[in-house]
Structure formats: structure tokens, C-alpha cells
Amino acid sequence: MARIEGVSDREAKLMTRVVFRGAKGRVGKVTEPLRIMAKSSPIMWAAGLFELGLARGKSVDSRLKALASLKAASMIGCVF
């Protein structure tokens, strides 16, 4: 549980709703970190563009990227 309350579906602006819908399509639900990032549009967009760039990068195998992401998340205690 986060210390900061995220943006609810009712509070979300139009573009935030579009991002939430995309997250539901990819993950199956809107994750809590995304809801918290949605409180600040520049942060949400920067994180989204970073993930897009990471996904489109071809110099490292996608399985290795997923493994590195999982390892980094486990080291900092992130459940996602």
C-alpha cells in the first residue's frame, strides 16, 4: 500500500483515461504506481516514453530485459 493516494477513475482527465485503458489492455488492471504517477502528467508521460523506448530497443534480448527488470524490482522491494 502506498503512502500517496493515486488518481481514481472519476478524477482522471481524458488523456489519463486513455493511458489507463491502455494499461488495462496490457496488464489487465491499472496498477497503483501508474495511478500515483498520473497525479503529475509530466512524470506519467516521461515514464511512459521511457518504457516505450525500452520496449523498442533491439540491442538486448527482451527476455534478458525482463529478467533485469525483475531483479531490480526485487532488490528495491517493488511488488510489480
pTM of the model: 0.70
- Show me where the domains of the chain are located: 14-76
Phi-psi region of 24 (alpha: psi -120 to 50; beta: other; left: phi over 0): alpha
Give SS3 for 70. Answer: helix
Predicted local distance difference test score (pLDDT) of residue 1 = 66
Q: How far apart are CA 48 and CA 33, in angstroms?
A: 12
Given this model, what pLDDT does residue 43 score?
92
**Average pLDDT, integer, range 5-28:** 91
Please report the pLDDT score of residue 18 as a whole number.
Answer: 92
